[in-house]
Amino acid sequence: MKIAIIDDYTSDASALADWTRLPDNYRVDFFQEHITDLKELIARLIEYEILVVMRERTLISSDLITALPNLQMIITSGMYNAAIDFSAAKENKVLICGTESSGISTTEQTWALILALTHNIVSEHNHMVDGLWQQSLATELNQKNLGIIGLGRIGLEVAKIGFAFGMNVFAWSQNLTKDYAEQNGINFIKSKEEICEISDVLSLHVRLSERTINLITAKEFSIMRSDAFIINTSRGPIINEIDLIKALKSQVIAGAGLDVYDNEPLPKNHAFRKLNNVVLSPHLGYGTKELMTKFFNQILENIEAYIMNKPIRVITEPPDRSTYS
């Protein structure tokens, strides 16, 4: 039995679980290179029975699944993966399993970006390296307005930390109710336009779905304050990328903290890399030692359960693309 673990960007998967627990006739191969070309991907994976994927890093399309004659099982990190074609998997009798996840790393990454932006950490560090001293003024968070779009598990945790900084916390989403927001001590906002207008820091915490693609466009940027910051640790396409670049270049808003992008890995010549009012991180909200250790140990457990013909953490239905946290 051959197992392929793809998109192992940091080459840590082999050390984060004890793969020697598998029977001798099971071989695990680890791949770091991210492949987007379908023909190349098929050529790489055609001999494997089990495919391990990291959330939506690679599109597991119908064309890919049907082209892999040996494929029996797909294991994804987390229990939600919009990049897998569930219908094709079902038609080809391919089992899909997942792992538990955690919002801790994404919450922490959100605040790392907020603090880096408002306190000019990156630019001032670079100035220090160049021998300079205090070239800009930081922005305090106390008494500023934190707007949260999507008050699910992660959004709620981000809000709690906002309170610790003495911020005024507001929330909106299409499904959010006033009762739920107020039960958690958060100010309920009735419309997307209003939360964009009042926020000093606007942080996005919704799932990628048909309703959330291009949720933030030039229209929303035009409503935001010129000294406001936007944070995205959810999924890249929630913000219209072209509109964001224009807003940053023309200083319609003060800056952006981004951990997610339309295309990952972010292309080397991408416009974001050339802007001085962004703080960029390579999807670190999904890349901590603790979280990856959990993922790969549960992936190993899934394989062991499959060997025993007692599969666990089975995902039988595709994610609800209309879900709006």
For the domain made up of 2-98+288-307, the CATH class stated in words is alpha beta
* DSSP calls for 241-276: HHHHHHHHHTTSSSEEEES--SSSSPPTT-GGGG-S
* Residue-level pLDDT at 322: 38
Domain coordinates of the chain in residue numbers?
2-98+288-307, 104-286
Query: Do the two domains 2-98+288-307 and 104-286 of this chain adopt the same fold?
Result: yes
Helix (H) or strand (E) holding 278: strand 278-280
In the beta sheet, which residues pair with residue 232? Answer: 204, 258
pTM across the whole model: 0.90
- Per-residue pLDDT tens over the stretch 77-100: 999 888 999 999 999 999 999 999
pLDDT tens digits along 214-235: 999 999 999 999 999 999 999 9
Q: Does residue 121 carry a pLDDT above 90?
A: yes
The DSSP line for 224-236 is S-TT-EEEE-S-G
Q: With 90 as the cut, is the pLDDT of residue 102 above it?
A: no
In the predicted model, is pLDDT for residue 315 greater than 80? yes
- Classify domain 104-286 at the CATH class level: alpha beta
Active site positions, annotated:
235, 264, 283
